[in-house]
Amino acid sequence: MTAPPRATRATGLAVVPALAGLVRFAHTVFALPFALAGALLAELRVPSWAVVGWVVLAMAGARSLAMAINRLVDARIDARNPRTAGREIPAGRLSRTQVLVFAAASLAALLVAVSQLPRITWYLWPVPVAAFVLYPFTKRFTWACHLVLGLTIGLAPVGGWLAVTGEFALAPVLLGLGVAAWIAGFDVVYALLDLDFDRAAGVNSIPVRFGPGASLWITRALHVAALALLAWGGAAAGAGVVYQAGVAACALVLAYENAIVRADDPARINRAFGSANMVMAVLYFAFVVAEVVT
């Protein structure tokens, strides 16, 4: 097979859209709404705009750092996979040095943000950063990589809660586990897109280990667990009927997502991964806001 021609490396202002493609800012919706939800549920009121702003900056820095690390670690695997060979590093639009500089800037943004939040967030920032570094390597040795990804993103509502209260509680832990189960479930579905490549390349995943059919059932079980944990977490935070109605609405979205997915249909997988999950994240946050302001 002839290798595709390498793209022209981005320079100057052209680096900005290349970095936006690397980070895929649209997918921030998978984490940011839950961080903000954790902040809102912490005291069942809207925090100060300063806190909200620092939480947003922390999440932007954290997610950008995580994506940069992931793309750097996986660059060689991405180059071999036809589905991902067009990504910025293997395609040549960004150099490793450019992505490393971007990662350093993202870490700096995260550190500036947590320096303005309760002291505990400063002490704990190495935890998510360590998770960002660990996750890309897990697919090299365990099919449980999806769970690691889920737990990594599940830190978002915990971080939002700590940004407001400075203290741990049961509620944010339950919310974090709920997000983790949701993320892990749809990441299993997303891995179906690379099933043949992963088998050939020795990349670990639940679809590789258990097969497509069982993987879809694992996703369903994870999503049921996610809904139960989100409902329990909201109750533990003192949220009422509006919040629980939001969880019920999320259940309908996840039911639709799991109903449309077919292991051998990439279009349905992409629809479930993109549209349905984005709708769920925004819907959940909207009901959290409604719970707090009503």
pLDDT for residue 31: 85
- Contact between 128 and 154 under an 8 Å Cβ cutoff? The reply is no
How many domains does the chain contain in total? 1
Q: Does residue 4 belong to any structural domain of this protein?
A: no
Residue appearing with tokens 């694992």 = 218
For residue 2, what pLDDT is reported?
44
What are the distances in angstroms from CA 132 to CA 65, 126, 206, 235? 8, 10, 20, 30
Residue 162 belongs to a domain: yes
- 3 has pLDDT over 80: no
pLDDT at 5: 53
Please give the model's pTM, rounded to 2 decimal places: 0.92
Q: How far is residue 71's CA from residue 96's CA, in Å, rounded to a whole number?
A: 9
Is residue 82 classed as helix, strand or coil in its secondary structure?
Answer: coil
User: What's the number of CA atoms in the CB half-sphere (13 Å) around residue 150?
Assistant: 23
Average pLDDT over residues 31-60: 95
Count how many Cα atoms sit within 13 Å of the Cα of residue 277 in the half-sphere of its side chain.
Answer: 28
267 within a domain of the structure (yes/no): yes
Domain assignment present for 22: yes
Contact of 85 with 4, CB cutoff 8 Å: yes
For residue 110, is it within any domain?
Answer: yes
The pLDDT tens digits for 244-290 are 999 999 999 999 999 988 888 888 887 777 778 888 999 999 999 99
pLDDT at 144 exceeding the cut of 80: yes
Q: In this structure, is residue 119 part of a structural domain?
A: yes
The CATH number assigned to the domain holding 168 equals 1.20.120.1780
Taking only the tens place, the pLDDT of each residue in 150-172 is 999 999 999 999 999 999 999 99
1 pLDDT higher than 70:
no
Q: Is residue 63 scored above 60 in pLDDT? A: yes
Q: Which two structure tokens, joined as six digits, stand for 35? A: 């961080």
Tens digit of each residue's pLDDT (9 = 90 or more) over 67-118: 999 999 999 999 999 999 999 999 998 999 999 999 999 999 999 999 999 9
Residue 115: inside a domain: yes
Domain span at residue 233? 16-128+141-293
Residue 134 falls inside a structural domain: no
